[in-house]
């Protein structure tokens, strides 16, 4: 019994890691409805920036997170300027929403992610970066029959804070209202006086800052910082977002937890090499059978 409990706890902590990445991702991709394939690289940049700050002067964790937050925000601005704004040359409804536009931004963000990853690799090499051991968030905490680490707690608190803050902003403030307005109907939003460019830029800033913080936290959690570290969490975050019904951040978080638990439990029954298949299988099953996410909300748009 303890064994299953421990696997469940590990699954939950895996899921929390995915959820942390999925929050920023869902804000840009799902809520703002902009196809962004470079989120994984923002995550990687956050981890490397954090490492850089640590090497320069070893600040306490909170200061480190603030610095990474700033780097992430800047990355978000740059990303939006380079890969997304150029495609908003036309402001009619069709241009803002059309398939071709979405595919163009998919390709441009993909190209930028290749550039970012290769640049990091050229500068730092492809090996794991050595993280100062005392900074690692892997101090074990024993809770009866199961074991977690202090990183689990920190990630849980961070993810919860992000989730609550975003939910509050999106549903209770004018900024959130304009984000939802832009995603719902960009032209309409413009007509009623919302600054569409600004709103999109701000969403990128917030989403990318969260992505960067996720990067450094997970980097310190596992002690594994390397150029292609963003790919897997990016995929998992994507799957969680699709499963959760795209525009729902709580939905994405819950589905991230489901994925984590399913992955950990899968090792009980099958060889662990098949663990990676779990998320993809969820993705396909969701897309085919629950195209509106497993909570089946009455969603009107994609």
By CB under 8 A, the count of residues binding another protein is: 81
Nearer to another protein by C-beta: 67 or 216? 216
Given 59, 66, 102, 156, the residue binding another protein (CB under 8 A):
102
Q: Where are the alpha helices (DSSP H) in 173-274?
A: 174-184, 186-191, 196-222, 231-243, 249-269
Given 170, 175, 267, 297, the residue binding another protein (CB under 8 A):
267
Nearer to another protein by C-beta: 165 or 284? 284
CB of 130 to another protein, least distance (A): 5
* Neighbouring residues of 105: CB distance < 8 A, sequence distance ≥ 6: 34, 35, 36, 83, 84, 87
90 binds another protein (CB under 8 A): yes
Given 86, 145, 198, 296, the residue binding another protein (CB under 8 A):
86
* Binding letters toward another protein, positions 11-40, x by CB under 8 A: x-xx--------------------x-----
Is 265 buried (19+), middle (13-18) or exposed (0-12) by CB count in 10 A? middle
CB of 26 to another protein, least distance (A): 14
Please state the separation of Cα 234 from the chain's center in Å.
6
Nearer to another protein by C-beta: 157 or 277? 277
Scanning residues 120 to 179, which ones bind another protein (CB under 8 A)?
A: 121-122, 125-128, 130-131, 133, 136, 138, 140, 142, 147, 149
Q: CA-CA distances (angstroms) from residue 21 to 126, 158, 210?
A: 22, 11, 8
- Number of neighbouring beta carbons within 10 Å of residue 161: 10
The CA distance from 136 to 93, in Å, is: 48
Window contacting another protein (CB under 8 A); options: 70-78, 156-164, 197-205, 228-236: 228-236
CB 28 within 8 A of CB 102: no
Q: Match 């803002």 to its residue by tokens.
A: 96
Nearer to another protein by C-beta: 66 or 110? 110
């Amino acid at each position: 019994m303890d064994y299953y409990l421990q696997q469940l706890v590990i699954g939950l902590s895996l899921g929390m890691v995915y959820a942390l990445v999925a929050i920023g991702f869902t804000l840009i991709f799902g809520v703002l409805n902009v196809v962004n394939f470079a989120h994984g690289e923002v995550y990687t940049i956050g981890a490397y920036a954090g490492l850089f700050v640590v090497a320069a002067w070893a600040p306490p964790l909170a200061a480190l997170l603030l610095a990474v937050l700033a780097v992430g925000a800047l990355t978000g601005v740059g990303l939006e300027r380079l890969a997304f704004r150029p495609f908003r040359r036309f402001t009619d409804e069709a241009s803002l929403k059309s398939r071709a536009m979405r595919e163009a931004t998919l390709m441009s963000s993909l190209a930028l992610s290749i550039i970012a990853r290769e640049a990091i690799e050229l500068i730092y090499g492809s090996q794991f970066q050595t993280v100062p051991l005392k900074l690692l968030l892997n101090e074990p905490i024993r809770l009866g029959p199961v074991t977690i680490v202090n990183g689990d707690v920190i990630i849980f608190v961070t993810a919860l804070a992000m989730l609550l803050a975003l939910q509050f902003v999106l549903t209770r403030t004018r900024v959130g209202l304009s984000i939802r307005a832009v995603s719902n109907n960009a032209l309409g939003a413009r007509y009623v006086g919302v600054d569409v460019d600004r709103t999109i830029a701000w969403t990128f800033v917030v989403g990318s800052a969260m992505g960067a913080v996720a990067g450094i936290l997970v980097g310190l959690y596992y002690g594994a910082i390397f150029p292609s570290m963003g790919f897997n969490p990016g995929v998992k975050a994507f799957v969680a977002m699709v499963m959760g019904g795209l525009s729902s951040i709580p939905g994405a978080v819950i589905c991230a937890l489901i994925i984590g638990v399913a992955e950990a439990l899968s090792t009980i029954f099958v060889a662990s090499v098949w663990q990676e298949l779990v998320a993809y299988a969820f993705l396909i099953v969701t897309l085919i059978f629950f195209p509106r996410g497993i909570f089946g909300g009455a969603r009107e748009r994609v």
